[in-house]
Structure 1
Amino acid sequence: MLVPLLAVVALVLGWGRSLPGWAVGVVALCLAGAVLAAVHHAEVVAHRVGEPFGSLVLAVAVTVIEVALIVTLMVDGGGKTATLARDTVFAAVMITCNGIVGLCLLVGAVRSRVAVFNAEGSGAALATVATLATLTLVLPTFTTSEPGPRFSAAQLGFAAVASLVLYGLFVAVQTVRHRDYFLPVTQRGAVREEESHAPLPGRRATVLSLVMLLVALVAVVGDAKTVSPAIESGVASAGLPQAFVGVVIALLVLLPETLAAVRAARRERVQISLNLALGSAMASIGLTIPAIALAMVWLTGPLVLGLDATHMVLLALTVVVGALTVAPGRATLLQGGVHLGIFTAFVFLAISP
């Protein structure tokens, strides 16, 4: 309860001012605390509404934070942030589909020798992620209406609408029509009965967490605006590519989600881990791209969405390996290690392209 309020205080004191290094550090700590607090309060709401609605709440909350960070950095960035949305969304896809999935499969397989999950739900989620990523990140490289890997205004509008429709369709399937596809399963493949590891929060506690979640999101947006020059200058002074800013944003936003997914895997609920990982990847594209498309109405800089050849190879490898992983509905240490290997390659190539 205290951290979001402290983050708001830091926002009020630092807004519109040139801060010394120690003050930037304090605001950065408040920003990280606000991200953790936001996901915590989202978890409280998620625990109240149950699965798979809980995973959806977490994914949407994390995506709102991601969009806020991207837009605040793009407002004053001009041309140098033209690829920021692409870099952040692609980093989120690689972190979730390889880093989080690989780590959770590893944890689940270590605990019970074989990690089990629902192939129907995980396969549908992966197919949606692959389609969204291709429509928004691959096609701009090959379209010819605009020079460079960019969409025209009409193409960007189509991609935004298509992303929202596909994401909305998936949510309807996940939460209503085929809800059982996204629930945890036992080693024999049967749907696992719901367990209550903690008492359900009351209505008052849930409403309070929802309010504090909104406060934390406001703090994240404002504090990110304050520390954004420090993030960019830090990446530049370290001699890293500008694209690494997107990786930093994605890592910051998805760290709490990673912890939640690993906790679920340790409780032998790998399906919840996959819901969190693939749901976050899907929301990162399906909600971020429409939000950025809308923001381009008042943003003046260019928007580059098309991936280069290296990143397209990594994306294709991720989709193929992911399909082979989820198809059997069971995974061992090997599948977890393969996904972590792809994630390691992504991070290395982001540092040394």
Structure 2
Amino acid sequence: MSWTRAVPVLAVISLVLTWGRTPGVVVVVLLAVVLAGSVLAAVHHAEVVAHRVGEPFGSLVLAVAVTVIEVALIVTLMISGGPETATLARDTVFAALMITTTGIVGLSLMVGARRFHVTLFNAEGSGAALSTVATLAALSLVLPTFTTSEPGPEFSSSQLAFAALASLALYAMFVVTQTVRHRDFFLPVAQAGQQGDSDEHAAPPGNREALVSLALLLVALVAVVGLAKVESPAIEDAVAAAGFPPSFVGVVIAMLVLAPETLAAARAARRGRIQTSLNLAYGSAMASIGLTIPTIAVASIWLDGPLVLGLGPTQLVLLILTVVVSVLTIVPGRATRLQGGVHLVLLAAFLFLAVNP
């Protein structure tokens, strides 16, 4: 049995043995190693599935799988955490949004430009994805700050229902556009001077191998999210020892959960498949909002306490700046290291202000 098959199984066993307990320092370190191995295994199996089904289905599978498990984790934490978790959904979704649209996009552009100098991608497909992400973010995270039916940055019940239905409708329309109507908009674009991708010419895996990889991908993702939850007390202690605000814990966990997509996007960019990287980044941001908000809307029926979704002033500025910069990056259909660097600086600003709000 290869390590890519053994590690997810080992990770789930470790998760079962440590769930609901407070592990010691040595166990925490070992779990961190298993967590890192699970991330690498998830990326491997995601690439196998992507090679079998082709783009853009491959990136869609990884984005949706990660987000579904992430949403389940958010709901579980909100149910068990009580009123103290009123901002958990907002903080997690916004962190995922910034990490994907600035971090994953910026890293992919930097990696691609380092090899090909100028990265090429499909502006139609990426622009459609970006506009959907911006609309979802505005409906779900910006409007609650300005509505007046409820005190504070909250939606009323009818407003939350509308935001949930609108999010599902937008996400469904985008998936149909990406996979059926205009699939060619989301296929990789050949880079200038690229000699070809060996993965394109290799025979795709068989159905059995692809199904095994799909199952192991889901197992690895469950392990990643679960172990991130198990590690969260240690992360909280480390954050507190560093003097960071408690909300930064959500950022750290979001980064751990999104690690498989980040690595997959960087590897695709290194092979010149920048469009695949952008599909992963914007698809993950879109799924994070489009699936989380409807789920939270249903869960709010039995959740106690308020549900705070509206962003604060600093977060609003970062979101607006990210959307403007992303539009200027995507519209030309080509980018250099400069654009990648600008996105990474925005990620650094988000992380810095999360530490020093």
TM-score, normalized by the shorter chain, greater than 0.5: yes
Match of 2:245, SS? coil
Structure 2 residue aligned with 1:161: 165
Structure 1 residue aligned with 2:329: 325
Matched, 1:93 2:97: yes
Q: Kindly indicate whether the alpha-carbon contact (under 8 Å) linking 1:69 and 1:224 is maintained by their aligned counterparts in 2.
A: no
Equivalent residue letter for 2:257: V
CA RMSD of aligned residues (A): 2.2
Matched, 1:269 2:273: yes
Bigger mean CA deviation after superposition, 102-111 or 119-128: 102-111
Counterparts in 2 of 1:41 and 1:296: CA distance versus 1, 3 Å: farther
CA drift at 1:97: 1.0
Aligned mate of 1:47, from 34, 48, 51: 51
CA drift at 1:32: 4.3
Match of 2:258, SS? helix
Unmatched segments (≥5 aa) in structure 1: none
Q: Which runs of 4+ in 1 moved over 6 A?
A: none
Work out the percentage of aligned pairs sharing the same amino acid: 71
Counterparts in 2 of 1:336 and 1:258: CA distance versus 1, 3 Å: same
CA drift at 1:116: 0.9
Partners of 1:44 and 1:193 lie apart in 2 by 15
1:89-143 deviations in Å (ceiling 9; x for gaps)? 1111111111111121122222222111111111101100000000011011111
Matched, 1:338 2:342: yes
Q: How many residues align?
A: 350
Q: Kindly indicate whether the alpha-carbon contact (under 8 Å) linking 1:72 and 1:225 is maintained by their aligned counterparts in 2.
A: no
Bigger mean CA deviation after superposition, 203-212 or 162-171: 203-212
Counterparts in 2 of 1:341 and 1:178: CA distance versus 1, 3 Å: same
Structure 1 residue aligned with 2:131: 127
Unmatched segments (≥5 aa) in structure 2: none
Structure 1 residue aligned with 2:263: 259
Counterparts in 2 of 1:219 and 1:298: CA distance versus 1, 3 Å: farther
Counterparts in 2 of 1:32 and 1:84: CA distance versus 1, 3 Å: farther
Structure 2 residue aligned with 1:241: 245
Matched, 1:291 2:285: no
Bigger mean CA deviation after superposition, 306-315 or 326-335: 326-335
Structure 2 residue aligned with 1:65: 69
Structure 1 residue aligned with 2:16: 12
Partners of 1:41 and 1:350 lie apart in 2 by 33
Q: Kindly indicate whether the alpha-carbon contact (under 8 Å) linking 1:32 and 1:252 is maintained by their aligned counterparts in 2.
A: no
Structure 2 residue aligned with 1:138: 142
Partners of 2:64 and 2:256 lie apart in 1 by 16
Q: Kindly indicate whether the alpha-carbon contact (under 8 Å) linking 2:75 and 2:296 is maintained by their aligned counterparts in 1.
A: yes
Q: Kindly indicate whether the alpha-carbon contact (under 8 Å) linking 1:73 and 1:228 is maintained by their aligned counterparts in 2.
A: no
Partners of 2:294 and 2:249 lie apart in 1 by 21
Bigger mean CA deviation after superposition, 239-248 or 51-60: 239-248
Match of 2:94, SS? helix
Match of 1:77, SS? helix
Partners of 2:40 and 2:190 lie apart in 1 by 31
CA drift at 1:83: 1.3
Partners of 1:322 and 1:157 lie apart in 2 by 29
Equivalent residue letter for 1:342: L
Match of 2:47, SS? helix
Match of 2:304, SS? coil
CA drift at 1:15: 3.2
Counterparts in 2 of 1:276 and 1:222: CA distance versus 1, 3 Å: closer
Partners of 1:93 and 1:231 lie apart in 2 by 21
Partners of 2:206 and 2:305 lie apart in 1 by 46
